Amino acid sequence: MKKIMIILAALAVVACESASKTSSEESAMVATNNINQESSEMEKSFYDFTMTDIDGNEVDFSKFKGKKLLVVNVASKCGYTPQYEDLQKLNEEYGDKVTILGFPANNFGEQEPGTNDDIKKFCTSNYGVTFPMFEKISVKGVDKHPLYRWLSDKSLNGWNDQEPTWNFCKYFIDENGELKHFFQSSVNPMDDEIIKLIEA
């Protein structure tokens, strides 16, 4: 009986070691997959993104090759919301040199609570917006959209770790798809520094 107990104990130890080894192997595989996924993301350029516009259409960002871009996270109930007027003015005066991309987000003070239809109606009826607008996304936090992960992670974009601090932050991308500048919300779309980048 004693021998049987010793044999059973030995088998239990072997089984535990095997399970532990399997668990370690699985953890290693998960870690490797995560690294591979991060590596894949690091190789992604701005032009590799495809996103849904505010009307539900897929937009391939490769169409923006050779164009300067101003990427802005927007909101309808913010103190900076009147910047829509200046963004539209920028679009009308410099639309042949820069394309504005608007990304509604509800990350700051829940100031973009509406649906995509609500947002579109608000922008067009109040500010006559004609520049490209996209569906509502998250621009910070655990659910941050991959585009904004690219914009705010220097391992992806080359230099910048700054994510939006509030609504109407602006990222300027040159005609080669390279992120060149980040502007805080307080910088007006018609600011001289932005105009100089556009005209350079």
pLDDT tens digits in sequence order for the chain, 200 residues long? 544 444 444 444 334 344 444 344 444 444 434 433 443 444 489 999 999 999 999 999 999 999 999 999 999 999 999 999 999 999 999 999 999 999 999 999 999 999 999 999 999 999 999 999 999 999 999 999 999 999 999 999 999 999 999 999 999 999 999 999 999 999 999 999 999 999 99
Whether 16 is a known active-site residue: answer no
Query: Please, what is the Cα angle at 128 between 123 and 134, to 5 degrees?
Result: 45
**pTM confidence score:** 0.80
Q: Is 105 helix (H, G, I), strand (E, B) or coil?
A: strand
Helices (H) and strands (E) in the chain, counts: 6, 6
Q: Which of 16, 78, 123, 169 is labelled catalytic? A: 78
The Cα-based distances of 200 to 183, 195, 196 in angstroms read 17, 8, 6
Q: Which residues does 84 contact at the CB level (< 8 Å), separation at least 6?
A: 74, 123, 126, 127, 129
Which H or E run includes 41? Answer: helix 2-42
